[in-house]
Amino acid sequence: MSQVTYGKTAEEIDKSRLGGRLAPQAPDPAGKVIRPGPPALPASLRLSAGPHSAFAGYGSPAHAGSRHASPSVRQDIAFRLQVSQVIYIKTSAEIDKIRRSSRLASQTLDHVGKVIRPGMTTERLDRIIHDFMKSHGAVPATLGYKGYPASSCISINETVVHGIPGSRVIRDGDIVKVDVTTILDGYFGDTCRTFRIGSVPENAASLASAAYECMMLGIGTVRNGSAVGDIGEAIQDYAEGLGYSVVRDFVGHGVGKQFHEAPNVPHFGKRGKGPKLRDGMVFTVEPMINEGCWQVNVLADGWTAVTADGKLSAQFEHTVLVDGQGAEILTLSS
């Protein structure tokens, strides 16, 4: 009942579409200063509200049945963190622990792929996820995090991220984003997949494939000496070339010792911009790709983000380690 294939790998995508993006980078004239990306993007995945927010002056939502969160509600959104500016270079001992936690996170999603089915509530699936992590010696990182009430985020169709598991029933034809983060031996592993339930409409299946391909293209730029902006440009070019849009309000993030660390990893941007990547950095690449506009609204629960136009959204996420001439994906399916 889950996905058959996720999509093409970076290598399988027609290189002619890439416009040479994967070629070695010219040095960044901005210099070697390691600093996080745009200050408006906390590594928490969530923009804070305020005059410089992407929401400033943003019109009323088109999404039927949702309530546009007020600025004060947005200000309280969790996953909004004060994150250290420092990008940690992990030791090999730490990397071992992050690797083990990340492997368990991906095994959790492998398990989800076996049990997810139409008729199941998201609450039920969350319980299964919780029990799986616990029985493997891990703690679900989201549970109690800034008041978040569940062990996973389960976001169906028009829900972009941070869907709170509850009474909503998973139905045939849905695309279901399941995002899990494990804490194992004190270290975090973070991964998300879009599961296709039963017979999924062609537009939804294509979107899910594109989100996977975007993630892999972004990861494909990662190497010692490349820049965070390389990831964003690769993703944005590909997604927009297919007529999709890239969510701006949530970004990837450093991960490992903490849930959310520097750097921010926007899924849009310009090659060569942003912090330079160095061996031993660990972060997520987790593009949210929308069928329609990129804008999102946050519901009154303060968490659930939905597309502003009610159209579909898909996401994949890997935790990756910068490793010499490439990236090691730590959350591969086993």
Choice between 205 and 285, CB closer to Co ion: 285
Query: How far is it, in rounded angstroms, from Cα 21 to Cα 23?
Result: 5
Tell me: does residue 261 bind Co ion (CB under 5 A).
Answer: no
Q: Which stretch binds Co ion (CB under 5 A): 76-84, 110-118, 279-287, 303-311?
A: 279-287
Q: Which stretch binds Co ion (CB under 5 A): 105-113, 183-191, 193-201, 291-299?
A: 183-191
- Count residues contacting Co ion (CB under 5 A)? 2
Q: Which stretch binds Co ion (CB under 5 A): 22-30, 84-92, 169-177, 190-198?
A: 190-198
Q: Which stretch binds Co ion (CB under 5 A): 10-18, 73-81, 98-106, 284-292?
A: 284-292
Find how far residue 113's CA is from the centre of its chain: 18
Q: Which stretch binds Co ion (CB under 5 A): 15-23, 61-69, 278-286, 297-305?
A: 278-286
Compute the least distance from the CB of residue 286 to Co ion, in Å: 5
Find how far residue 249's CA is from the centre of its chain: 11
Of 102, 151, 221, 284, the residue at the interface with Co ion (CB under 5 A) is: 284
Of the CA atoms within 13 Å of residue 304, those in its CB half-sphere come to 22
Choice between 158 and 190, CB closer to Co ion: 190
DSSP 8-class letter at 230: H
Choice between 220 and 254, CB closer to Co ion: 254
In sequence order, what are the residues at sequence separation of 6 or more whose Cβ sits closer than 8 angstroms to the Cβ of residue 81? 42, 43, 44, 260
Compute the least distance from the CB of residue 67 to Co ion, in Å: 25
Choice between 174 and 190, CB closer to Co ion: 190
Tell me: does residue 249 bind Co ion (CB under 5 A).
Answer: no
Choice between 226 and 264, CB closer to Co ion: 264
Choice between 190 and 261, CB closer to Co ion: 190
β-strand pairing of 288-290 with 296-298: unpaired
Query: How far is it, in rounded angstroms, from Cα 168 to Cα 39?
Result: 35
Choice between 190 and 233, CB closer to Co ion: 190
**Is residue 300 a contact partner of residue 73, using CB atoms and an 8 Å limit?**
yes
Q: Which stretch binds Co ion (CB under 5 A): 104-112, 282-290, 296-304, 323-331?
A: 282-290
Torsion of CA 64, 68, 69, 70, to 10 degrees: -160
Tokens for 169, please give them: 């029933």
Interior angle at CA 131, CA 183 and CA 142, nearest 5: 40
Tell me: does residue 190 bind Co ion (CB under 5 A).
Answer: yes
- Calculate the alpha carbon distances from 184 to 98, 143, 153, 287 in Å: 8, 14, 18, 25
Compute the least distance from the CB of residue 23 to Co ion, in Å: 28
Choice between 284 and 295, CB closer to Co ion: 284
Whether the bond into 287 is cis, omega within 30 of 0: no
Tokens for 321, please give them: 């380690």
> Which residues contribute to the site for Co ion (CB under 5 A)?
190, 284
